[in-house]
Structure 1
């Protein structure tokens, strides 16, 4: 039997990988940064790869059923109790329609309130595809280009900027190939001040970007190094050409355009226990983090918004999945042009596994490409998977740090449910 890593083992590995624990909590690690660590662990322990066999790690005693059979709630509850998680939520879409949606568990350990399907979940780095889509809106309108450089758009920051960054274009920031720092902490900037600063968010973000651009590059241009800092700088470039905050532009051009009415920014306000709280700990030993402390315990202050501050209900995030799936094959225009959707979903030469806000792989069950991303601030975890060639989108969330456990099992279960689903053809695609 193949050995399995435990959450504490992975947690320790991630802590060792963190660049500077003394300066604050570990930063948000998205699909590329986290998966490079997990892949090293998986290889060393001879663990099976999820993409090769999506059913290989799901506990055998869970009957996954068939998509659309009304049993998703039971599947979520079996996985949640097995992993001792506070709550789980999931939604799946196929060919532009929601197939099923469910949520189970409690909003906060120690309280009785149950999660609901319209509750809000912090996306963290799953927000990056939203930021990249916003950039595409600006490119389509001629306000930005993919080749516009940091120095061209932010000339007033050039005097304090490292020379290596002046000619880095927008596309490289979104690809994580611009060489910007992987960590969000800087030697000369007060991290704590990002949570208490009362100046307008555009000014906060610009000042913070200036500090990030004074940091040494993590690697040469063209080399993939996952960088939250790059998305912050991309957000500042968008603010420069629009003269409105990233948050306001997202609200109008993404949320309102797609009818994502529940979506907003930062940890959900569950002060009345009417929304989930994030949880710190390990399975079976969770501590609920009250909303008043969530932003401080988390590492997503407002200035870092473009890298991962969006929250949404599962139903509203499904609308974003539907929009990308409908246009992932370049079939038609949507909120951005077909050409821009192609840019968003296509990795650059030499970096085949990451496009703009999406990890990119392929799978036989998906009949081709898989676009995916995860996100965490160590209190919440979310994961999205799109299989464009079969029109399938999956989104799962938990209000706890449970990487490599419950969400893996849930994604596997959802894939199996859809492979057996009534809408699929005889070859099981």
Structure 2
């Protein structure tokens, strides 16, 4: 079969009508289109959709490449993508609308609206505010609780209840650690205060006023579209389609599906402090400032050498937005990532400039193209600084990261004692085990091999391949789930006390928070002695 070449799509829905003439003249669409085509190839991405707004107008909105690898259907400005964590800004906007109505305040305790809300520490529970829910400073670890929603059948309310079992890794409000589950709790405040679900509130109070008629909040909305991009990732060295992440139970943190046509309207509204057509407002100017005010200091580390120019002078997290500087300007932005989908929204308030890039791969193409556009639209960098080839820079950075991961895996393989055996007959490892947060994990013996199943996460069915001693590797049968070490600990009498887990690959996404799990045998559930 003839291989599909990934080149720029020819459809442009909106030209630079009414946009700043200086910007329109400086920006060369053909040059950028050629750059995108190269980026799709180098960073192994089937398709992308991009919109740029300037001074309240759409400079351009355009699709590139294909929706599905091996198919000819093109990406266009109406192609739907899962925007993942770019949803978080919609959740904070919903809370801002309710704050304007006097129904809540950012510094109200969460328990005022959700009396059953509880975290591991009773003091933190009592002091925890609405603001704390959306600023990643809870004291929980990076991605704590993400396995609760990932391919699970837990409801939002059940996830919000189970996060109480996650142990903190730092003191309250002392440091930044990105979190998804607490945004679910933030979403649960909406029905408690407004009397309608988060989904309906976002639809009625944000999508409808902005005429975002092609956006939705459910996985079914996304998968039922005839113009939706398929997610892709590199598996075993080959770019291929991967299963769609179902995110209904975490929608306030990452559930929106949209396209650049609709998101351009969102960007224009945000750049005008919440105003939209006719001078109406989604939220007040006061709330607009609040959402873009720094709340949590982000650590600044040195980027890998190819990306050294991206080291900021300051970095903070606001209310659903990241704040930093680039080339002397404040940048308000966020990224989003799910299986096979990545996106980036970037706003430059001082220049009334907004960029949204949606892609159907897990590469950093969205970042490379964002910085290319910023360089194009903010003017050439001052001499003697040369213009950066961001596609090459992000590709080099990814190669360095992969090389480091490969080195770590080689060290692990070299340390493995392949001549060792499990301490117990395989049948002695079977039974039901329970983690306080995630729930039950059931181990069975099938065809002389141990199999692990997470009871509330049907996709997590893994064959346990012996590694060494009492450590196995769970090879999940569902594609695109990260393999995990499963290590059993024994009591002095030889009975099993627990098993714990850890991701095998150093490149595993933080949402595979296996390290937070501690499974103990459920008495009487099986042959665990």
The alignment's TM-score, normalised by the length of structure 1, stands at 0.71
Task: Classify 1:82/1:215 alpha carbon distance in 2 versus 1 (closer, same or farther; 3 Å).
Answer: closer
Corresponding residue for residue 294 of structure 2: 347
> Which of 39, 49, 71 is matched with 1:111 structurally?
71
Distance 1:305 1:270 in 2: 15
For 1:215 and 1:305, the matched residues in 2 are separated by 21
- Does the aligned pair in 1 maintain the 2:81–2:358 contact within 8 Å? yes
Return the offset for 1:363: 2.8
How big is each residue's C-alpha offset from its partner over 1:181-222, in whole Å with a ceiling of 9 and x where there is no partner? 5435489x686542xx6xxxxxx2122201113322342222
- The count of corresponding residues between Structure 1 and Structure 2 is 335
Using CA pairs under 8 Å that are at least 6 residues apart, name the structure with larger relative contact order, 1 or 2: 1
The 1:181/1:256 distance shift into structure 2, 3 A limit, reads: farther
Q: Which moved more, 1:75-84 or 1:316-325?
A: 75-84
Aligned pair 1:237/2:189, yes or no? yes
The answer for the alignment partner of 1:58 in structure 2 is none
CA contact (8 A) 1:67 1:100 kept: no
CA distance in structure 1 between the partners assigned to 2:144 and 2:295 by the alignment: 24
In 2 relative to 1, CA 82–247 (structure 1 residues): closer, same or farther, beyond 3 Å? same
Q: How does 1:20-59 map to 2 (within 5 A)?
A: none
Q: 1:216 maps to what in 2? A: 167
Alignment of 1:310 with 2:271, yes or no, is: no
C-alpha distance in 2 between matches for 1:214 and 1:243: 28
Kindly tell me: are residues 212 and 191 of structure 1, through their superposed partners in 2, closer, same or farther at Cα, counting changes over 3 Å? same
What residue in structure 2 maps to residue 205 of structure 1?
156
Deviation at 1:402, TM superposition (A): 0.5
Q: CA deviation at 1:148?
A: 1.4
Greater share of residues in strand: 2
Structure 1 pair 177–282 and aligned structure 2 pair: CA distance change class (3 A) = same
- 2-structure distance, mates of 1:343, 1:129: 12
- 1:280–1:400 contact (8 Å) kept in structure 2: yes
Of 78-87 and 132-141, the range deviating more from structure 2: 78-87
Match of 1:275 in 2: 228
Structure 2 equivalent of residue 94 of structure 1: 54
CA distance in 1, matches of 2:146, 2:162: 7
Aligned residue in 2 for 1:381: 342
Shift, 1:273, TM fit: 5.5
- In structure 2, relative to structure 1, the CA distance for the partners of 1:76 and 1:355 (3 Å cut) is same
Q: What is the CA deviation profile of residues 225-263 of structure 1, one whole-angstrom value per residue up to 9, with x for unaligned ones?
A: 211122111111222112211111111111111111111
* Greater fraction of residues in helix: 1
Q: Which ranges in structure 2 are unaligned for 5 or more consecutive residues? A: 1-24, 299-314, 381-529
Q: Secondary structure at the match of 2:272?
A: helix
* Residue 270 of structure 1, CA deviation: 4.7
CA contact under 8 A between 1:96 and 1:322: conserved in structure 2? yes
Contact 2:231 2:361 in 1 (8 A): yes
- Matched residue of 1:319: which SS? helix
Change (3 A) 1:102 1:350: closer
TM-score of the two chains, using structure 2 as the length reference:
0.58
The Cα offsets for residues 262-307 of structure 1, whole Å up to 9 and x where unpaired, read as 1112456456763211112169822113xxx41xxx2x53111111
Question: Is the partner of 2:199 in helix, strand or coil?
Answer: helix
* Structure 1 residue 81 displacement after superposition: 2.4
The residue aligned with 2:468 is: none
Aligned to 1:251: 203
Give the drift of 1:341.
0.5
Kindly state the Cα deviation for residue 413 of structure 1 after the two structures are TM-superposed. Answer: 2.0
Q: Which moved more, 1:349-358 or 1:167-176?
A: 349-358
CA RMSD of aligned residues (A): 2.9
Whole-angstrom CA distance in 2 between matches of 1:409 and 1:68: 17
C-alpha distance after superposition, 1:113-142 (max 9, x if no partner): 111111111110111111111110010011
Question: Which string of whole-angstrom CA distances, capped at 9 and with x for unpartnered residues, describes residues 345-372 of structure 1?
Answer: 00127565110111111233xx531111
Output the CA distance in 2 between the equivalents of 1:420 and 1:156.
52
Q: Secondary structure at the match of 1:323?
A: helix
